[in-house]
Amino acid sequence: MDYEGLEGVYFAVQWGSSWGGEKSWPYQPYTEVNFMAVSGDEADIALKVMVTGPIKDYDRIFKVTVNPDSTTAVIGVDYKSISEECVVKAGEYVSSVTARLIRTEALQNHTLTLGLKLIPTNQLAVSFPEWDAVEGYTTGTVYEHFDASQHTIRFTDMMTRPLQWVGTDVSPYNGGYESGSWGAFSRKKLLMICDRFDVTYNDFLSKETMPSALQTLIYKTMAAMLIERYNAKNPVLEDDGRLMWFSGCPWMSKVGVPWIPDAGYYN
């Protein structure tokens, strides 16, 4: 059947379970971005915008603006200015709005938001200010109702313990000290591994990119490096002041308990 209704634009951002795809992912009112999975200090996030109505043989203009009601980020600090005028090219029914986010130290402890809102023009209206969920899209969270003229980007740089971290913060078998191959998780420790082995945070998320052989190589190499630093009187300390630990280090380390240099290996 032919389309009946406004000729307009709407945010058509889809995401869901990793094993799915756009044919099964539901439409979403927000997008999550973690800079831990991004290389560099800036990230361009393209948000899909689709058109209702017939395809035209000429370019059409639609506009977008920052929605202050759903934005906590600061322009020039957390994101670059948004191009307010966008184009649906002739013969096409899909376009995008791009936002450039900036990595800052504040993101290591907070999540910021950037809300965007489509603005009607004399060529394109806003199609679905009241969006109802489309049936059949089930591989992810389904939002039954939302305003498809708006979309919110939630972004952070907070590092959570990845799936393939082979260590424990506290062991009940040795007085609560770190144990396992890699010991307690910390941002500093993971970044040191990334730098030494030229891997990224994403590599710690699956066994395919972090196999057991590499896990073993990591703890042996890192332990040797830490021992060398200790013997050179330049020990590596965690943010709480304790000695960084991997299996193979001759000292013990407990989260929250600073190392006392004059006490030697053990506090």
Strand-pair partners of 145: 132
pLDDT at residue 137 tops 80:
no
Across the range 166-187, mean pLDDT stands at: 78
Strand-pair partners of 62: 86
pLDDT at residue 173 tops 60:
no
Angle (nearest 5°) at CA 228 between 108 and 261: 75
Average pLDDT along the chain: 90
Dist. CA 233–CA 47, nearest whole Å: 51
Q: Which CATH number fits domain 8-156: 3.40.1280.10, 2.60.40.2030, 3.90.1150.10, 2.60.40.1730?
A: 2.60.40.2030
Dist. CA 54–CA 2, nearest whole Å: 9
Q: Quick check: pTM over 0.85?
A: no
Q: What's the confidence (pLDDT) of residue 265?
A: 64
Check if the beta carbon of residue 45 is closer than 8 Å to that of residue 33. Answer: yes
Q: What's the confidence (pLDDT) of residue 174?
A: 62
Dist. CA 45–CA 42, nearest whole Å: 10
**DSSP assigned state of 88:** E
Question: What residue segments make up the domains of the chain, in order of their start?
Answer: 8-156, 159-266
Q: Supply 211's token pair.
A: 């196999």
Dist. CA 236–CA 225, nearest whole Å: 9
Backbone angles phi, psi at 225, to 5 degrees: -65, -40
pLDDT at residue 160 tops 60:
yes
pLDDT at residue 102 tops 70:
yes
Contacts of 214 (CB under 8 A, 6+ apart): 197
36 confidence band (pLDDT: 50, 70, 90): confident
Across the range 29-58, mean pLDDT stands at: 92
Q: What's the confidence (pLDDT) of residue 188?
A: 93
- For 119-135, b where at least 16 C-beta lie within 10 A, e where not — what string? eebeebbbbbeebeeee
264 confidence band (pLDDT: 50, 70, 90): low
Q: What's the confidence (pLDDT) of residue 140?
A: 77
Q: What's the confidence (pLDDT) of residue 37?
A: 80
